[in-house]
Amino acid sequence: MKKFILPFVVLSILFSCKEEKKEPVIVEKKVEKPKPVYAYGFNLDKYKVINDTIKNGESFGIIMDRHHVMYPKINQIATTIKDTFDVRRVRAGKPYIILASKDSLEQAQIFIYKRNKVDATIINFKDSIVSAYNYKEPVKIVEKEIAGEIYSNISMTMDSLGLHPTMAIRVADIYAWTLDPLRLQKGDKFKLIFEERYINDTTLVGYGKIKAAVFNHKGKDLQAYRFIADSVKNIAEYYDEKGNMLRRAFLKSPIKFQYRISSRYNLRRRIKLYGNRVRPHRGTDFAAPEKTPIMTTASGTVVESARRGGNGNYVKVKHNSTYSTQYLHMRRRKVKVGDYVKQGDIIGWVGMTGNTSGPHVCYRFWKNGRQVDPFREELPSAEPLDPEIKPAYLEFIKPLKNQLDSIPFPKKKPILAKKLEIIENH
């Protein structure tokens, strides 16, 4: 009997295992359809998208013809939208997008002319009705803080902090009346609270407001706060911590950057070329590369614009009954007699015309008909802050001042911190 028990048991186990085997479970996965891609208000999935740049010699008509739009239709488009957009004004180097049909013809239906990273003009001629309108990309404003230390000059320092050169120009504009960029010293420090503008969260498209700034120059803090004192005119000015306007009646220099004072106002100057005789110099020479823009240091009317003798090309501006300024040795003049120029306007470019041994502008300053040294004159300030507005201003700058105070100066590496994000509505 025992000989037959084991085989029976084994067979029974094998049979049992076969019975318990489970079938594989098939799980069906749902494949999600890709979301449609939208840009400029259009579903791009419905078009063939063509990105290109206008080349030299190309016109709107040539581009349309290449994308299978007939000339009668091109003329209709140009005529219909001429009050909104002049197709003759498209410029070489500007990018554009064409949305074309997805059939075999791939005919253009929409033309998007990108004036810059934010602004575009859209021409829609898909249907019988042709339309043109302006479009703005949604822009996000990001507030940032930065602190830096001058180690060479302000432009190179800004560059080392990853800022675009336009930031250095804007900061120089704020302090143009109170701080000479040439007099900044190694070790001078600054802090800024400013805005950066982004599209698609990643593409920087420029700077917004500089809300507050402070320069520590020779151990003294020079503060600047952006404030709109007149809500009707809605013009922002910069004031110090006491409410004094930074802007003055005259700029410190007729040149923004890349200059040095090669010769100052000196009535006892001796020149070797003339036998070491005294020949008074009644101007201040700002040496700079040729073609450097020359600005008028104050608003006024051009009373002289000519080329004459040792002065070379020159411009003279009358600012009021007391003050006039003159700019000599220009390569080329930009203004003519009778033109009204605003402070900071370009009136010409640095050159070597007249009696000069190198490129520079000789800046001359008249007060009551007599040439004087502007750096020794007590020049008038701009319109002060209204006493009735001052309390509101002092309250307005409190949080900005605290924010500036909380930004540490860098020890080794520049500090760049993101502080606040808001959406700018268009």
Write out pLDDT tens, residues 23-69: 666 666 677 778 888 999 999 999 999 999 999 999 999 999 999 99
pLDDT at 408 exceeding the cut of 70: yes
Q: Compute how many other C-beta atoms are within 10 angstroms of the C-beta atom of residue 100.
A: 18
Of 223, 216, 219, whose CA–CA distance to 244 is shortest? 223
Write out pLDDT tens, residues 137-178: 999 999 999 999 988 778 888 888 989 888 988 898 888 777
Cα angle 136, 139, 143; round to 5: 155
Q: Decide which of 3.10.450.350, 3.30.70.1230, 3.10.180.10, 3.40.50.2300 is the CATH code for 39-136.
A: 3.10.450.350
Write out pLDDT tens, residues 295-333: 999 888 999 999 999 899 999 999 888 899 999 999 999
Q: How far is CA 314 from CA 7, 23, 335, in A?
A: 121, 97, 10
Q: Amino acid identity, residue 21?
A: K
pLDDT confidence tier of residue 6, bands split at 50, 70 and 90: very low
CATH number listed for the domain at residues 140-248+384-424: 3.10.450.350
pLDDT at 421 exceeding the cut of 50: no
Is 140-248+384-424 in the same CATH topology as 39-136? Answer: yes
Of 192, 194, 196, whose CA–CA distance to 216 is shortest? 192
Look up residue 327 and give its DSSP letter: E
Topology of the domain covering 260-376: Glucose Permease (Domain IIA) (2.70.70)
Q: How far is CA 355 from CA 331, 352, 362, in A?
A: 13, 8, 11
Helix or strand or coil: residue 61? helix
pLDDT at 8 exceeding the cut of 50: no
What residue ranges do the domains of the chain occupy?
Answer: 39-136, 140-248+384-424, 260-376
Is residue 87 a contact partner of residue 75, using CB atoms and an 8 Å limit?
Answer: no
pLDDT at 130 exceeding the cut of 90: yes
What gap in Å lies between CA 114 and CA 162, rounded to an integer?
Answer: 26
pLDDT at 263 exceeding the cut of 70: yes
pLDDT at 63: 97
Q: Helix, strand, coil % (nearest 5) of the chain? A: 20, 40, 40
Q: How far is CA 215 from CA 10, 17, 165, 228, in A?
A: 94, 86, 18, 22
pLDDT at 288: 92
What gap in Å lies between CA 67 and CA 123, rounded to an integer?
Answer: 14
Average the pLDDT over each of 85-89, 135-139, 278-282 and give the range with the smallest value: 278-282
Write out pLDDT tens, residues 187-233: 889 999 999 999 988 899 999 999 999 998 878 889 999 999 887 87
pLDDT at 425 exceeding the cut of 70: no
Q: How far is CA 102 from CA 46, 50, 123, in A?
A: 7, 11, 18
Report, in angstroms and rounded to the nearest whole number, the Rg of the chain calculated over CA atoms.
34
Q: Which residue has the tokens 């180097």?
A: 93
pLDDT confidence tier of residue 9, bands split at 50, 70 and 90: very low
pLDDT at 33: 77
Calculate the average pLDDT of the chain: 85
pLDDT at 180: 66
SS (H, E, C) 333-358: ECCCCCCEECCCCEEEEEECCCCCCC
pLDDT at 343: 87
Q: Any idea how long the chain is? A: 426
pLDDT at 247: 81
Q: Which residue has the tokens 């990108």?
A: 114
pLDDT at 19: 54
Alpha helices in 176-278 (DSSP H): none
